[in-house]
Amino acid sequence: MTSISGSPMYNFTLALELHRRGHSVAVYSMFEDNELQSELVKRKIMTCYSVPSGRFDLALISQPDNASLVEEIEADKIINIVHSEYDCESPIISKKIDHYVAIRKSIKDHLISEHNIPEDNISIIYNGIDFNRFSKKKKKANDEDYIKVVIPCTLDLLRKNFIEYYTKKASDKFRVFLYGTDYGMDFYKNEFVSVNPAVFNIEEKIKDADLVAGILLGRVNLEARAMGIVSTIHNPERPEDFSYFFPVWEDFEKEHDIKNVVDKLLSL
């Protein structure tokens, strides 16, 4: 929860939905000075920097940095949610893990082939989006004659090729607006690219976009679809390889509405 980005926003949305249902929720993380913690506190959801005391019915844990939490926390069931195939989000290997959740099929395949986790111990439960927050909103009129591309992402080495693909493509008629934490990545500069800090209310930026772009079917793609906007999904290493994302609403809602995602997690 140190940045306003993919898996932190997943955890934030998950905590809010569980709290809305009347569950007692504690969010453990190394919070930094951002709106994620203040928004949780505002809703009277406990946030903590150390292992919360007491016994929990369920612990939903992401990121290998939290491996020590698995050993220390008291919970009837512990589920490790894995958000990507990259080392920074490797599964936590422990006898205390009762089940693994992959947020897309390619991650499940990776857990089986690279980490030897039994297939029957992995469920695919997709990323969850708050459809009340990310919904179709009135778009501000664009008096300029250009395509507006909104890219919410962290500016890091993983996304270097992807970001440079768009910064080199940007022009007077194709303007790019980046929103995310800058980790000191040096990339090609272009006067038609606007680089901005991460924004908590990113829906206010997405609603005016003509196109949203992301990598590996990230949350930004799901948020854009929920708001009725087409997005592109890029291969981070070869960003010229991409596909458009705008699935049928009924299928999308079934897989990605946070209400349905929580139902599936609680049924494991």
pLDDT of residue 142: 65
CATH fold for domain 6-131+256-267? Rossmann fold (3.40.50)
Whole-number pLDDT of residue 88: 80
> Which pairs with CB-CB distance under 8 Å and at least 24 residues apart come from 14-21?
14/60, 14/128, 14/258, 14/261, 14/262, 14/265, 15/40, 15/45, 16/40, 16/43, 16/45, 16/130, 17/128, 17/130, 17/258, 17/259, 17/261, 17/262, 18/262, 19/43, 19/44, 19/45, 21/262
Q: How far apart are CA 164 and CA 179, in angstroms?
A: 15
pLDDT at 143: 66
- Those residues of the chain that have pLDDT short of 70 are 33, 141-143
Q: What is the CATH number of domain 147-252?
A: 3.40.50.2000
Strands 46-48 and 99-102: unpaired
What is the per-residue pLDDT across 27-82, written as a single tens digit (0 to 9) for each?
Answer: 998 877 678 899 999 999 999 888 888 999 999 999 888 888 899 999 999 999 99
The segment(s) of the chain belonging to CATH 3.40.50.2000 are: 6-131+256-267, 147-252
Cβ–Cβ < 8 Å for 147, 175: yes
pTM metric for this prediction: 0.91
DSSP string, 35-76: HHHHHHHHTT-EEESSPPPSEEEEEEEESGGGHHHHHH-EEE
Burial zone of 2 (CB within 10 Å; 0-12 exposed, 13-18 middle, 19+ buried)? middle
